[in-house]
Structure 1
């Protein structure tokens, strides 16, 4: 039992999760660019699920829309604890990553639009460099930044969540034929039920004390919420974020820990060891054939400049200007060079950027191929730049030794 507990605790580590995620991505790239390409694509394209519920999805879609919702639940749950008990309960500090995220979306889009202003169809891809791939960004941060202040990871999580919400709104408004409002209303109603059951009053308290396991109620409810969000046309991972943000973070008198802490303890090993590696394996298989022509394509150049330069300027510059013009403040445990390194990390676009690429150029295979190659090149470049900066900062903090936490964070399992 002790060995099993140690193994499960190891799987909760962001470092282990990061290595597994990166390993999945590397394997996917190998499969997509070798003689196994056709077999790999056949597996990704294989569809299954109930057609009557519009859930006859490909394996790749189940990974990105279904499994990844579990990861977003963990992230949303962690952010909820930070907003209630931790770093982000201070509005002056919560404001900074939120404004930085908005600037980190607007500036890359403007850079892309400036490069492609006279290029006609290529301008449709302005939304591609807006997105940050939270799964890869958190994984890289965990691998290269074990001694970095926890506040940097919280900054990245908050920024990436706001970034993803913004990207999904952009997809819904500019790249989607329409939203199905009836399923969306149903999802909102069930989310209200989910939130009520977290309150620990009346029916919720009776359920908590019932001999019937809670999962009998919560698992079908969570699946129904996810399915309705998916059917609405909104990216289904939003269901995971919403449920995570609704978790109760304060234990009741009869509880030894809050539902938020219990779910974190239960789900994080699965998220780290299964969800993220499978997601990477199914989503990261980009064909390198487009690399040869991408530098002659304005769409690819717009993507590269947007992700590599736009994210850096938008996030770092936006955060710095915000501290000068408002009461927002940078956590005292962080330096601006840390934010620069994290801004490079936010240039990892990958999954959502690839999705917007497909929505932008459905009728132009060559431009689509070049745009995807641009996303891959930009993400790899951003990873290298971030790794260099954050590795230097990690060595700096390692020499300093353990630092006092500026503010207590009860109930948080955040590691950096």
Structure 2
């Protein structure tokens, strides 16, 4: 039987990078609008819009627009993450133990070290008991966008490593969200989630392709997850992981690939930017910026993202390469790997989500923590980009020396 699997991941991977680069730019624009709006004379209108309640109270869905962006739109984003994660686990960069070892170890290091640093720095402060989770995340769209813009001279293995790292990191962040931010779990509704997920899995195995079945089923799964007391975005990951990623002989593409192709532009171009529009509007005046570097929780977030990520990711890679048969990604030196590791400090979307979940009972501290996420993510982007540009120039010089130096002027 002819096997189309090798061609599919390669073409999809190239398309994925192009989409996420554009999505990263849209995300930056949405964040800039939110910051300008929240710090303008029209700030009261921004706050009123964010707090506007919409939805039927009888179904417990009378939520603010900001809440709808967090629980609703990000569910689609996490569905796309689930699809990508399933594909990488089955036929992609995480499909074998040897392939997965380095990016998974890097992701673990990039979660544990930032969390420990944030916990140590903020220990004893209000909100520190849960805010330590804020710097564990890496924004896959933003990080890949910076790499694509500033790391054009890097080999493709840098992108493969960063993608594997970010996907594994997303899985860890999803586990953190599911475990830490589920309250008053309702067993009956959780059972309804399990039944809906089982039906989705069965329909996938029966090769059913009718969208008018899947859309209501997906909405019900989201609603049941919301009623069960588990963060509703987990429903997106769950269904993504249950989607088929291997095409049948008569299929040009597997369902997971078709869904990614259709939904990723909506996720990167609408869902995540709208979430950022509601989440990133924080005060950035002198007093607010001063609190970012004096408030222990905010300082823990900054140190966790800027120092903890590169130490954890690079340190885990070094240990794995030294202690196991694993090797560095082909064509990457240790300095190249350090530059890529710096991009792990771009927390952004998921870090903002975790901040909103962990500090919901501390609204003043929440605004400071979100400002810390924005400051640290921007700094990590700029530092990472500078390191990548410097490594690109060094690689160009090394290649020139290897070829005998530049040609003489005529």
Alpha-carbon distance in 2 for matches of 1:78, 1:171:
19
The one of 307, 310, 313 equivalent to 1:312 is 310
Q: Tell me whether 1:45 sits opposite 2:51 in the alignment.
A: yes
Aligned to 1:121: 126
What per-residue deviation string (whole Å, max 9, x for no partner) do you get for residues 121-173 of structure 1?
36433223223333433443444345644444443344334434434444554
SS of 2:313's partner is helix
Q: Tell me whether 1:261 sits opposite 2:266 in the alignment.
A: no
CA pair 83-116 structure 1, distance change in 2 beyond 3 A? closer
Aligned to 1:353: 351
Aligned to 1:90: 96
Deviation at 1:216, TM superposition (A): 0.8
Alpha-carbon distance in 2 for matches of 1:338, 1:193:
46
The one of 264, 268, 275 equivalent to 1:279 is 275
Q: Note if contact 1:131-1:167 (Cα within 8 Å) is conserved in structure 2.
A: yes
What per-residue deviation string (whole Å, max 9, x for no partner) do you get for residues 336-364 of structure 1?
33432332222223344344445555565
Deviation at 1:26, TM superposition (A): 1.0
Alpha-carbon distance in 2 for matches of 1:268, 1:34:
32
TM-score, structure 1 as length reference:
0.81
The one of 298, 319, 335 equivalent to 1:321 is 319
The one of 32, 35, 50 equivalent to 1:29 is 35
Alpha-carbon distance in 2 for matches of 1:319, 1:274:
35
CA pair 325-215 structure 1, distance change in 2 beyond 3 A? same
The one of 200, 214, 217 equivalent to 2:213 is 217
Alpha-carbon distance in 2 for matches of 1:97, 1:28:
33
Aligned to 2:226: 230
The one of 79, 89, 93 equivalent to 2:85 is 79
Q: Note if contact 2:183-2:229 (Cα within 8 Å) is conserved in structure 1.
A: no
Aligned to 1:252: 248
CA pair 398-61 structure 1, distance change in 2 beyond 3 A? farther
Aligned to 1:64: 70
SS of 1:13's partner is helix
Q: Note if contact 1:132-1:346 (Cα within 8 Å) is conserved in structure 2.
A: yes
Q: Note if contact 2:178-2:234 (Cα within 8 Å) is conserved in structure 1.
A: no
What per-residue deviation string (whole Å, max 9, x for no partner) do you get for residues 207-227 of structure 1?
34xxxxx10111111111222
CA root-mean-square deviation? 3.0
Q: Tell me whether 1:104 sits opposite 2:110 in the alignment.
A: yes
Q: Note if contact 1:75-1:157 (Cα within 8 Å) is conserved in structure 2.
A: no
Alpha-carbon distance in 1 for matches of 2:157, 2:77:
20
Alpha-carbon distance in 2 for matches of 1:381, 1:279:
21
Alpha-carbon distance in 2 for matches of 1:77, 1:353:
21
CA pair 154-192 structure 1, distance change in 2 beyond 3 A? farther
Q: Tell me whether 1:301 sits opposite 2:306 in the alignment.
A: no
Deviation at 1:368, TM superposition (A): 4.1
Q: Tell me whether 1:156 sits opposite 2:162 in the alignment.
A: yes
TM-score, structure 2 as length reference:
0.82
SS of 2:41's partner is coil
Q: Note if contact 2:70-2:353 (Cα within 8 Å) is conserved in structure 1.
A: no
Question: Which region of structure 1 is more displaced relative to structure 2, 162-171 or 358-367?
Answer: 358-367
Q: Note if contact 1:134-1:157 (Cα within 8 Å) is conserved in structure 2.
A: yes
Q: Note if contact 1:92-1:329 (Cα within 8 Å) is conserved in structure 2.
A: no
Structure 1 unaligned regions, length at least 5: 1-8, 209-213, 402-416
CA pair 185-147 structure 1, distance change in 2 beyond 3 A? farther
Structure 2 unaligned regions, length at least 5: 1-14, 400-410
SS of 1:331's partner is coil
Q: Tell me whether 1:198 sits opposite 2:204 in the alignment.
A: yes
CA pair 400-120 structure 1, distance change in 2 beyond 3 A? closer
The one of 23, 26, 36 equivalent to 1:20 is 26
